[in-house]
Chain A
Amino acid sequence: AKLPSGVETPKEEPKLPTALWGFTQNAERWNSRAAMLGIIGIFLVELIIQKGILQVIGFEVGKGLNLPL
């Protein structure tokens, strides 16, 4: 939208603190970006390595979750 003549926007915007910690919108955004990159990344890495990524890290896989159900 075009501003009418004779009016301008402020030169300095207030720097409000954006919380990075906790259950906030900013935290969710960064976590989601990391997860998006992560999921594609894990796919590609596993394609290349032909092994599970958790195995590479060192976890023992295939033992099942010992949930008393």
Chain B
Amino acid sequence: VMAASTAMSGTPVRSTSILVVGATGTLGRQVVRRALDEGYEVRCLVRPRPAPADFLRDWGATVVNGDLSKPETLPAALVGIHTIIDCATGRPEEPIRAVDWDGKVALIQCAKAMGIQKFVFFSIHNCEKHPEVPLMEIKRCTEKYIVDSGLNYTIVRLCGFMQGLIGQYAVPILEDKSVWGTDASTRIAYMDTQDIARLTLTALRSEKADRKLFTFAGPRAWTTQEVINLCERLAGQDAKVTTVPVGVLKLTRLLTRLFQWTNDAADRLAFSEVLTSDVIFSAPMADTYVTLGADSKDTTTLERYLQEYYTNILKKLKDLKAQSKQGDFYI
């Protein structure tokens, strides 16, 4: 076959070249940062914007324009790439299917055809247990497609990000704004995205991570009430908590499903089904740490994370009487 003969002759693809999809996101930027620190050549796939976010270029990564919902922009971005790390997902106001399914299918097809040597995919913990949540169903099918495709993959299932808690709880509590909580008793093992990035890059270098599925969970699983209490304690002031019963969330989901234009919001609200099932969203990490050769003591705990955040940043903001706009949803 023509492919075999030309595959061997020519400029070899550098094994230190990584393409990060979703590099502007919470997890993606940490992966880019960590990979750059460790000496990889990082290429970032971002959507073209009139006002681009330049921080990726300032750090030293190469930025390439592309869009998962326009698959014809993908093949050009993958030329000269050895590894793909996929941290992308659709924004809440965009339909899930176009980006998270059709876009990912196109990306995997490109990876397979162009001989990408490693594909790292981030998925959600327990995604096979909740087929009624659209994003989880899509993640499950994507995982299956990756496994079937024959790529050399590493799938990492995640439980939750600590970074999200800043905007949701830490900042409003400090600024005396009201905070939304649910009465659900689900416990989620939040994890620092920097630790996720560190462990992912360790997995990249280890052969024991080839064709394996990992679950990364934080050191401890928290309920929303516990998180709010922790923030109250660290901020030194009480929170104004508005408790939303999970039934209201379910009702809102039903209502938003009635209208076409709110269907995307309804898909996101489907996570409320997960909240009611009284689950512990966590996984045992002992084996993972052994396989990757990492130490569980290096992983940041939520207390330490929030403590650092409060002392370093937020107190300064409060002293300057500045207001942070981290609650803005559409930015």
Q: Report A-B touching, CB under 8 Å.
A: yes
* Given contact pairs A23-B260, A24-B258, A16 touches B97 in the complex (Cβ within 8 A): yes
A10 touches B260 (CB 8 A): no
A25 within 8 A of B: yes
* Among candidates A3, A8, A9, A16, residue contacting B137 with C-beta atoms closer than 8 Å: A16
B166 within 8 A of A: no
**In the complex, what's the smallest C-beta–C-beta distance from A46 to chain B, in angstroms?**
34
Distance to closest chain A CB from B257 (angstroms): 5
**A21 part of interface (Cβ distance < 8 Å):** yes
Q: How large is the interface on A (under 10, 10 to 19, 20 to 34, 35 or more residues)?
A: 20 to 34
Number of residues of chain B lying within 8 A (CB) of chain A: 26
List A15-59 residues whose CB lies under 8 Å from chain B: 15-17, 19, 21-25
Q: Is the CB of A15 within 8 A of B258?
A: no
Question: A13, B259: Cβ atoms under 8 Å?
Answer: no
- Cα A6 to Cα B1 in complex, Å, equals 11
A10 touches B145 (CB 8 A): yes
Known A7-B109, A14-B138: A21·B144 in contact at CB below 8 Å: no
The answer, yes or no, to whether B112 is at the interface (CB within 8 Å) is: yes
**Contacts known (A6-B112, A7-B113); A19 close to B141, Cβ less than 8 A:** no
A5 interfacial by beta-carbon distance below 8 Å? yes
Choice from B97, B145, B259 contacting A22 with Cβ under 8 Å: B259
**Contact of A23 with B141 in the complex, beta carbons under 8 Å:** no
Q: Is A64 an interface residue (CB 8 A)?
A: no
Which residue among A9, A11, A14 has the maximum number of chain B CB atoms within 10 Å of its CB? A14
Judging by beta carbons under 8 Å apart, are B113 and A10 in contact? no
Picked from B1, B109, B132, B144, the residue with its CB within 8 Å of the CB of A11 is B144
A21 to B3, CA, bound (A): 51
Please, which residues of chain B bring their CB within 8 A of the CB of A19? 257-258, 263, 266
- Contact surface of B with A, Cβ cutoff 8 Å: 1, 3, 96-97, 101, 105, 109, 112-113, 131-132, 134, 137-138, 140-141, 144-145, 148-149, 257-260, 263, 266
Residue ranges of A at the interface with B (Cβ–Cβ < 8 Å) = 3-17, 19, 21-25
